[in-house]
Amino acid sequence: MPLSKTEFKFLIIEDNLGDLLLIEEYLKKNISNPTIYHASTFAKAVEFLGENIELDLILLDLTLPDAQGEQLVTDILNFAGYTTTIVLTGYLDQDFAIKTLSLGISDYLLKDELNASSLYKSIVYSIERKRSEKILKESNQRYEILAQATSDTIWDWDIELDKMQYNDSVNRMFGYAESAVENTSKWWSLKIHPQDILKVNNELNYSFKQQRAHLQLEYRFLCADNSYKYISDRAFIVFDNAGKPKRIIGAMQDISKKMKAEEERVELLELLQNKNRDLQQFSYIVSHNLRSHIAKISGLAFLLKIEPDHKINNLSLTECVEQEITNLGNVVNDMNTIISFRDADQKQKDNISFNTELKLIEQVLENQISESNATITSNFQVKYIVNVKSYIYSIMFNLISNAIKYRQHNAPLAIHIETKQIEKSICLSVSDNGLGIDLEKDGEELFGLYKRFHSSDIEGRGMGLSLVKTQTEALGGNIEVESIVNKGTTFKICLPINENQYAIDK
């Protein structure tokens, strides 16, 4: 392998003049016009190296009058920087020879065995090796700096040895102590979410098979606190000549915030769409009811014009108009009520005893209860709830009062109220043996505002269940109904347990 450069600069550090001349001669044999500098002592060598002349090679004798051995090698290498350095010595010391190589010496040559061609060969190899070492070292340094600078977790997996290394980010990103991070691929794969591991493995295997170097993975990775982070992992696979994967380097980026924001966006959009649909329905219903009363008033006005003394249900037309105006006012008030119940977040939450609320309702509905001969039983497995008092009262009141209103007249009315905890909810159920509701027919409209499902002789405005649903949903809960016509109905309200609930239970 010929040297490509035309002008070469050598420094020979050698105290023996004979040896110096011999080396010079060897050099000149294979290299045209080399520039040769000479230092006979360590001190002179240091002085020369301080001048910063760019050298291609240093040839160093190991025994100088002012320095010898390992110390000499270390010191010279310090001053030489990246310059290729070859040791020339009269004595073979195998151990020491190996040691100098590890210190950064490129070759270790015995003077006795030296000739022009072996020196030349050593020089060519050494310079070339040093050059590629330098490139590798710089690239490694860049890699190290990048790994330190990035907040991504960099992993480097030697597949043959199954060794996996990480930068510090693995500790910062996932909260693992340094000692907790194991350097095998198993550790890594066990941390991947069980639902994602198959996908990750498949994609890895596919890339191995297709010999595709670039790979992007998305998976959830377990943190020290047992939570998962969403990770986008960009990896680069190194294959050997036979196409076998040898090494993978990957950068794990925490995209949890992005994923969470995306999830929140979707949720929010859904919420807004639902609210919008609700409002639209609400506006139809309200306008329908406003119109209905206005229609009646306008009909009554017509009658007043042509037959002012006419009576409807023993009421004068003027009285009818007054009644309708009151009804109209009520619709407007209902509108306010429904809207004000929609948002419960700001409302004060109290510790409410189900039993106390029930007693209160029984007092208020005393007449209806005695008239209907109702028996009310209760089983409050959960005795208290931390929530908005007026809502809980209204939900219980409306369900009980409905049970009384829509009872069967040929059998004594029995109402049963129950509470229990189901997972993270407190569930309140109110059951009766009343008229029941044809859910197949009316189920969809059951909770609609001003919707009524029983004959008009039973008084009611179609507000109760609509309010119950609005209030339940405003509290973050849901309502379910089971019913069989002429057998009875059960309403089940499940409300999420409030943070403060546990304190009271204890």
Binding residues vs another protein (CB under 8 A): 284, 287-289, 291-292, 294-296, 298-300, 302-303, 306-307, 310, 312-313, 320, 324, 451-456
Measured CA to CA, the distance from residue 43 to residue 50 in angstroms comes to 11
Q: How far is the CB of 374 from another protein (least distance, A)?
A: 23
Measured CA to CA, the distance from residue 391 to residue 278 in angstroms comes to 20
- If the CB atoms of residues 115 and 280 are measured against another protein, the closer one turns out to be 280
**In the beta sheet, which residues pair with residue 230?**
220
Strands ordered across the beta sheet of 228-239: 163-166, 153-158, 245-254, 228-239, 214-222
- If the CB atoms of residues 33 and 456 are measured against another protein, the closer one turns out to be 456
Q: Environment class of residue 280 by beta-carbon count within 10 Å: exposed (0-12), middle (13-18) or buried (19+)?
A: exposed
Q: How far is the CB of 197 from another protein (least distance, A)?
A: 49
Q: What contacts 365, CB < 8 A, 6 or more positions away?
A: 397, 400, 401, 404
Q: What contacts 68, CB < 8 A, 6 or more positions away?
A: 62
Q: How far is the CB of 405 from another protein (least distance, A)?
A: 13
Q: How far is the CB of 434 from another protein (least distance, A)?
A: 16
Q: How far is the CB of 270 from another protein (least distance, A)?
A: 22
Q: What contacts 340, CB < 8 A, 6 or more positions away?
A: none
> Cβ(233)–Cβ(251) under 8 Å?
yes
Phi-psi region of 450 (alpha: psi -120 to 50; beta: other; left: phi over 0): left
Q: How far is the CB of 295 from another protein (least distance, A)?
A: 4
Measured CA to CA, the distance from residue 56 to residue 5 in angstroms comes to 10
Element (H, E) at 228: strand 228-239
HEC per residue, 330-366: HHHHHHHHHHHHCCCCCCCCEEEEHHHHHHHHHHHCH
Q: How far is the CB of 483 from another protein (least distance, A)?
A: 16
CB atoms within 10 A of CB 115: 11
Q: How far is the CB of 433 from another protein (least distance, A)?
A: 21
Phi first, then psi, for residue 290 (nearest 5°) are -65, -45
Q: Which long-range contacts (CB under 8 A, 24 or more apart) does 314-320 make?
A: 320/296
Element (H, E) at 479: strand 478-484
- If the CB atoms of residues 370 and 455 are measured against another protein, the closer one turns out to be 455
- If the CB atoms of residues 321 and 361 are measured against another protein, the closer one turns out to be 321
- If the CB atoms of residues 175 and 462 are measured against another protein, the closer one turns out to be 462
- If the CB atoms of residues 44 and 296 are measured against another protein, the closer one turns out to be 296
- If the CB atoms of residues 231 and 300 are measured against another protein, the closer one turns out to be 300
Q: How far is the CB of 311 from another protein (least distance, A)?
A: 10
Q: How far is the CB of 276 from another protein (least distance, A)?
A: 15
Question: Is 235 in a helix, a strand, or coil?
Answer: strand
Q: How far is the CB of 404 from another protein (least distance, A)?
A: 18
- If the CB atoms of residues 142 and 288 are measured against another protein, the closer one turns out to be 288
Measured CA to CA, the distance from residue 336 to residue 338 in angstroms comes to 6
- If the CB atoms of residues 336 and 455 are measured against another protein, the closer one turns out to be 455
Per-residue tokens: 253: 């980026």
* Side-chain half-sphere exposure of 323, counting CA atoms within 13 A: 10
- If the CB atoms of residues 58 and 285 are measured against another protein, the closer one turns out to be 285
- If the CB atoms of residues 299 and 496 are measured against another protein, the closer one turns out to be 299
